[in-house]
Amino acid sequence: MSDILLEAKNFGVTLDRTPILKDLDFSVREGEFLTIMGPNGSGKTVLVKSLLGLLPHDGDLKWHKKPRVGYLPQGLNQTSVRDMPVTVHDFFSFKKLKQDEIRKYLSLVGLERSVLNKRAGLLSGGEFQRMLVAWVLASQPNIVFLDEPTTAVDISGGETIYSLLRDIWEKQQLTIVNVTHDLNIVYAHSTHVLCLSRFGHRCYGVPKDVLTPEVLRDIYKTDIKFYTHEGES
Amino acid sequence: MTNQLLLSLISGIFIAGSAAYLGTLMLSKRMAVVAGPLGHLALPGAALALIYGFSLYIGAFPFVILGILLIWGIEIRTRLPMEALTAIVFATGVAIAFLFLPIDKAEAALIGDISKVNAYETVSAVILCSVVLIAINRSYSNLMLMNINEDVAKIEGISVKKYNLIYLASIAIIVALGVDLVGGLMTAALVAIPAAASRNFSKTLVQFGLLSGIFGVISAVIGIISAKLTGLPAGPLVILTSTVIFLISIPASKN
């Protein structure tokens, strides 16, 4: 089993004297694809931000190795650059990368070098999201935090992003911590899942072991039917 | 060319050019309008300068700093939207200024007095603007990433506090100097109009900053020279020149 990279014990977050999360225990091993799932308002984004040190937390948080973190927050979407004259090349120049490095990461996500001179705000939703993935990977992180990376793209675009992430995750032995409310993503791509709810219920483990219909009902407070196709060839 | 005109041109070029360059960052952060209230808030300082006979920008500077501290301090405390706070602060600034600003001297404070700038003021404006230009140029890419997403900037290892301080100090210096050039009423235009015109023409960030600076300089030169020729005040002419550039830029807008 691979080494533990990040460990949280009795982890909690209180903002404006309101407890958002409390008593969380989980760890992230190297090479894991951990998905944090739960309904809106369950504290997924808050958890990621507090793990990254962007919000204060209680309890223990231990990084066993010095991480090189990549972060794609929910707020970093095309609307934040739509009105600005920022080309794809400008975006990469924030990281002071060389031309051939930029091309390498663009081709990793399947983008032509011709997008370099295009305005980031005028790319298609899917292209923009792929550019962001390339941009995050360009810092050569060993752990990447993704907060709803497919919110702004349609279903097929979203699937492309996840297939791409999964591909890169397998090839580069990345560790991924991903936030979503999409159950399909959890089953299709994650090695582990941490689920949160507004009502204190949570689960943690391998998706097919822990995501029982009862747990999902407790998390989402509604009946969710998810059919596993056992015995299918 | 008379020495006075030369001094006015040099000060005007430096102030308008650096204000326009800084304006591209303020526009990206949707903060261009904040320069307006800060300029208004500088009015009591400008009034003091006129009463006691020292440079407008020296009077304006402490009041702009006070304004920045007030706006950000109250925002953190009350979480009121920035535009509500700037409205409160700017109205207060204007009200205080008119309580004790001698009405016959009001014009210089309201619309600027660049045509009477002296050698000492010109040298200080050139030095201060150069400092701002260098600081902003070096921080530009980090500040722009902070404008796009502050959390990502933090994760990328950028010291957000340090760069915010550089940014706010630059705004304070430019607004105080801007009071000299176009007066307390129109400082927002000095940062907003050239940057808005530049955005319409620009495709890349380098073009955005460069063109904005050039538009600022052109506005200052045409405004100050036409003021000399017509006898009209320079401040409004500088602003109206940049308005014309902006109008020309509208058809080029890619949005």
CA angle B155, B160, B162 (to 5 degrees): 140
For residue B141, give the nearest of A70, A83, A94 by CB distance. Answer: A94
Residues 30-69 of A with CB under 8 A from B: 49, 52, 54, 69
CB of B140 within 8 Å of a chain A CB? The answer is: no
* Residue A43: Cβ-neighbour burial (10 angstroms; 0-12, 13-18, 19+): buried
Backbone angles phi and psi of A124, in degrees to 5: -70, 160
Cβ–Cβ under 8 Å, residues B128 and B10: no
User: Do B151 and A75 count as a contact with CB atoms less than 8 A apart?
Assistant: yes
Nearest residue in chain B measured CA to CA from A132: B152
Residues 76-95 of A with CB under 8 A from B: 76, 80-87, 89-90, 93-95
User: Do A73 and B255 count as a contact with CB atoms less than 8 A apart?
Assistant: no
Nearest residue in chain B measured CA to CA from A89: B204
User: Do B142 and A49 count as a contact with CB atoms less than 8 A apart?
Assistant: no
- Asked if the model's pLDDT at residue A22 lies above 60, the reply is yes
- List Cβ neighbours of B103 (8 Å cut-off, separation of 6 or more): none
Q: What is the pTM of this model?
A: 0.89
What percent of chain B clears pLDDT 90, i.e. is strictly above it? Answer: 56
Say which CATH architecture domain B3-252 belongs to.
Answer: Orthogonal Bundle (1.10)
Chain B interface test: which of A94, A146, A148 (most B C-beta within 10 Å): A94
Name the residue among A164, A149, A162, A151 with its Cα closest to residue A107. Answer: A164
CATH class of the domain comprising A1-68+143-148+174-233: alpha beta
Six token digits for residue A152: 């702004």
- Chain A residues with CB-CB distance to B142 below 8 A: 94
> What is the nearest CA distance from B59 to chain A, expressed in angstroms?
35
User: Do B152 and A71 count as a contact with CB atoms less than 8 A apart?
Assistant: yes
Name the residue among B155, B148, B120, B119 with its Cα closest to residue B7. Answer: B119
CB of B165 within 8 Å of a chain A CB? The answer is: no
User: Do B156 and A84 count as a contact with CB atoms less than 8 A apart?
Assistant: no
Q: How many CB atoms neighbour CB B119 within 10 A?
A: 12
> What is the ipTM, given to two decimal places?
0.87
Segment A81-85 shows an average pLDDT of 87
User: Do A94 and B207 count as a contact with CB atoms less than 8 A apart?
Assistant: no
d(CA A169, CA B15) in angstroms, rounded, equals 51
Chain A interface test: which of B137, B147, B152 (most A C-beta within 10 Å): B152
Mean pLDDT of chain A: 86
- Chain B residues with CB-CB distance to A143 below 8 A: none
**Where does chain A hold its CATH 3.40.50.300 domain(s)?**
1-68+143-148+174-233
pLDDT band at A224 (very low <50, low <70, confident <90, very high): low
- Chain A residues with CB-CB distance to B154 below 8 A: 54
pLDDT band at A76 (very low <50, low <70, confident <90, very high): confident
Mean pLDDT of chain B: 89
> What is the nearest CA distance from A123 to chain B, expressed in angstroms?
13
Question: What per-residue confidence (pLDDT) applies to A231?
Answer: 47
DSSP state of B103: G
- Give B7-50 pLDDT, tens digit per residue: 999 999 999 999 999 999 999 887 777 777 788 888 888 888 88
Question: What per-residue confidence (pLDDT) applies to B42?
Answer: 86
Cβ–Cβ under 8 Å, residues A194 and A35: yes
- Give A136-181 pLDDT, tens digit per residue: 999 889 999 999 887 767 766 677 788 888 888 888 889 999 998 8
d(CA A56, CA B119) in angstroms, rounded, equals 52
Buried residues in B240-249 as b, exposed as e (16+ CB within 10 A): bbbeebbeeb
> Across-strand partners of A71?
A145
**Got the DSSP string for A57-99?**
-EEEEEESS---EEEE-TT-SGGGTTTS--BHHHHHHTTT--H
- Asked if the model's pLDDT at residue B198 lies above 70, the reply is yes
Name the residue among A173, A156, A106, A178 with its Cα closest to residue A135. Answer: A106
pLDDT band at B136 (very low <50, low <70, confident <90, very high): very high
Six token digits for residue A22: 């409390």
d(CA A65, CA B159) in angstroms, rounded, equals 23
User: Do B142 and A94 count as a contact with CB atoms less than 8 A apart?
Assistant: yes
- Give B155-177 pLDDT, tens digit per residue: 999 999 899 889 989 998 999 99
Report residue B168 CA to chain centroid gap. Answer: 12
Question: What per-residue confidence (pLDDT) applies to B254?
Answer: 63
pLDDT band at B213 (very low <50, low <70, confident <90, very high): very high
pLDDT band at A232 (very low <50, low <70, confident <90, very high): very low
User: Do A119 and B203 count as a contact with CB atoms less than 8 A apart?
Assistant: yes
Segment A46-59 shows an average pLDDT of 94
Cα torsion angle, B190, B196, B199, B201, sign: negative
d(CA A153, CA A130) in angstroms, rounded, equals 11
Question: What per-residue confidence (pLDDT) applies to A1?
Answer: 65
- List Cβ neighbours of A133 (8 Å cut-off, separation of 6 or more): A72, A109, A149, A161, A164, A165, A168
A52-61, A204-213, B232-241, range with the lowest pLDDT: A204-213
Nearest residue in chain B measured CA to CA from A49: B151
Q: Please report, to the nearest 10 degrees, the dihedral formed by the alpha carbons of residues B206, B207, B209, B213 taken in order.
A: 140
Q: Which residue's structure tokens are 């050698």?
A: B119
Chain A interface test: which of B154, B158, B163, B205 (most A C-beta within 10 Å): B205
For residue A76, give the nearest of B142, B148, B202 by CB distance. Answer: B148
> What is the nearest CA distance from A146 to chain B, expressed in angstroms?
11
- Asked if the model's pLDDT at residue A233 lies above 50, the reply is no
CB of B207 within 8 Å of a chain A CB? The answer is: yes
